[in-house]
């Protein structure tokens, strides 16, 4: 079965964060029809973090979406967070459903919604959970698959973090990439609106998603974003959305060009050789770290040494800069290496004593 999300690339989903008024919904839809988009989205039920905020127009908004379908021919989608939402969405003949990030974290809710859809043929989009848990995301997809839903897409909207810096939600691109590796048949849609949280970040995020071979984009659009009732900072007008698409560079996944194939094969071979060399060196480093653990044990010294770790952080960051590498990348890498070294030394520390004495100081 051909997935609706694989009909072409990029598959485009757009519409307001929230359905506010019938006029607002219809005005947005008619503008997006001219682009055109593949799927019109609007939030009918809004799971707000704290009470008192606008939590959606409810069932009345589904009537507006029916009118969108009748007047524009656009397919429609809404978020459903429980079986009551689901029943109403099906009653008003929504074409696609999506599961929000706050629902994906709850396997009980996911199971209830999936069971309620058993025997129903409708595409479902599943957003990543708010926390960076790949297995939880995969589990939600699998529950719908087991219920017989055949057309499923995963939506990457980023992950909640305590510290808010550049992005509203940390993209953690490695997680959707790993999902794609494990579940290659599942189309992957990017939601730059929720990742960025600011309209000025949408172009860069959308381009990165396309460069990472995502199948589509979900972008929030509103006729007057600054007056939106929810998430005004991350919405753009349909006209701005059209400009974003015009500036988007779409690249091919493969090339049949003989020269390209020859050159990229040679470069990948070089990378493979270097990776093997890195692994040999890393293995040697871990053996020395293990010897350091033996030496610390013999001298009754703690495994973790703050001064040494501070020295590693400073020197490796400096070396990274000298070699044209990102200090942030190298620090993350060395945190993993240091953590593994500590685990090795902890193992040594708790093994029965032996007669070997190694004089090495890391």
pLDDT digits (tens, 9 = 90+) for 331-349: 999 999 999 999 999 999 9
Do 64 and 191 belong to one domain?
yes
Do 8 and 81 belong to one domain?
yes
For residue 306, give its domain range.
258-349
Q: Report, as an integer, the average pLDDT of 2-12.
A: 94
Angle in degrees, 0-180, between the axes of helices 83-91 and 59-72, rounded to the nearest 10: 30
Chain length of the chain: 362
Q: What is the pTM of this model?
A: 0.85
Do 65 and 150 belong to one domain?
yes
Question: How many folded domains does the chain comprise?
Answer: 2
Using CA atoms, how far apart are residues 241 and 274, in angstroms rounded to an integer? 43
Segment 68-112, tens digit of pLDDT: 999 999 999 999 999 999 999 999 999 999 999 999 999 999 999
| pLDDT value at 49 more than 60 | yes
Segment 121-174, tens digit of pLDDT: 999 999 999 999 999 999 999 999 999 999 999 999 999 887 767 899 999 999
- CATH of residue 198's domain is 3.20.20.70
The confidence score (pLDDT) of residue 136 equals 98
Do 203 and 294 belong to one domain?
no
Do 157 and 119 belong to one domain?
yes
Do 226 and 333 belong to one domain?
no
Identify the residue whose tokens are 């770790």: 309
Do 14 and 128 belong to one domain?
yes
Do 164 and 295 belong to one domain?
no
Q: Is residue 102 part of a domain?
A: yes
Segment 227-274, tens digit of pLDDT: 999 999 999 999 999 999 999 999 998 899 999 999 999 999 999 999
Do 280 and 324 belong to one domain?
yes
Q: Is residue 165 part of a domain?
A: yes
Cβ–Cβ < 8 Å for 157, 195:
yes
| pLDDT value at 360 more than 50 | no
Q: Is residue 38 part of a domain?
A: yes
Do 103 and 162 belong to one domain?
yes
Judged by DSSP in three states, 156 sits in strand
| pLDDT value at 358 more than 50 | no
Cβ–Cβ < 8 Å for 106, 131:
no
Q: End-to-end CA distance of the chain, in Å?
A: 58
Using CA atoms, how far apart are residues 74 and 93, in angstroms rounded to an integer? 13
Do 42 and 87 belong to one domain?
yes
Tokens of 72: 């524009």
Is there a cis peptide before residue 36, judged by omega within 30 degrees of 0? yes
Chosen domain end from 246, 280, 301:
246
Q: What is the 3-state composition of the chain as percent helix, strand, coil, each rounded to the nearest 5?
A: 50, 10, 35
The better pLDDT of the pair 352, 276 is held by: 276
The better pLDDT of the pair 32, 46 is held by: 32
Q: Is residue 359 part of a domain?
A: no
| pLDDT value at 359 more than 90 | no
Using CA atoms, how far apart are residues 158 and 267, in angstroms rounded to an integer? 32
Give just the sign of the alpha carbon dihedral 104, 109, 113, 114: positive
Do 268 and 155 belong to one domain?
no
């Amino acid at each position: 079965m051909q997935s609706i999300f694989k009909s072409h690339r990029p598959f485009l989903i757009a519409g307001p964060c929230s359905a506010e008024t019938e006029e607002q919904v219809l005005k947005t839809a008619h503008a997006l029809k001219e682009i055109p988009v593949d799927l019109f989205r609007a939030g009918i039920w809004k799971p707000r973090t704290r009470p008192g905020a606008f939590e959606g127009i409810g069932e009345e908004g589904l009537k507006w979406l029916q009118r969108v379908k009748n007047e524009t021919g656009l397919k429609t989608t809404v978020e459903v967070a429980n079986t009551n939402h689901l029943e109403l969405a099906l009653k008003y003949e929504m074409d696609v459903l999506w599961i929000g990030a706050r629902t994906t974290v709850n396997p009980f809710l996911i199971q209830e919604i999936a069971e309620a859809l058993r025997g129903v043929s409708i595409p479902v989009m599943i957003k990543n959970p708010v926390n960076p848990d790949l297995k939880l995301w995969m589990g939600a997809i699998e529950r719908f698959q087991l219920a017989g839903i055949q057309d499923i897409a995963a939506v990457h909207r980023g992950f909640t973090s305590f510290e808010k810096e550049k992005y509203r939600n940390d993209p953690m691109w490695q997680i959707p990439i790993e999902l794609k590796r494990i579940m290659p048949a599942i189309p992957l849609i990017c939601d730059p609106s929720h990742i960025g949280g600011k309209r000025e970040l949408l172009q860069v995020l959308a381009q990165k998603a396309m460069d990472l071979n995502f199948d589509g984009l979900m972008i929030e659009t509103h006729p007057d974003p600054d007056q939106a009732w929810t998430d005004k900072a991350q919405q753009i007008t349909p006209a701005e959305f059209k400009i974003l698409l015009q500036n988007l560079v779409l690249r091919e996944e493969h090339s049949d060009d003989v020269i390209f194939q020859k050159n990229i094969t040679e470069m990948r071979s070089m990378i493979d050789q270097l990776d093997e060399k890195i692994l040999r060196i890393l293995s040697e480093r871990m053996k020395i770290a293990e010897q350091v653990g033996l030496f610390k044990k013999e001298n009754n010294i703690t495994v973790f040494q703050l001064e040494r770790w501070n020295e590693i952080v400073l020197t490796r960051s400096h070396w990274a800069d000298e070699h044209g590498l990102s200090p942030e990348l190298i620090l993350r890498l060395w945190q993993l290496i240091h953590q593994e070294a500590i685990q090795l030394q902890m193992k040594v520390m708790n093994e029965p004593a032996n007669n070997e004495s190694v004089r090495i100081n890391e």
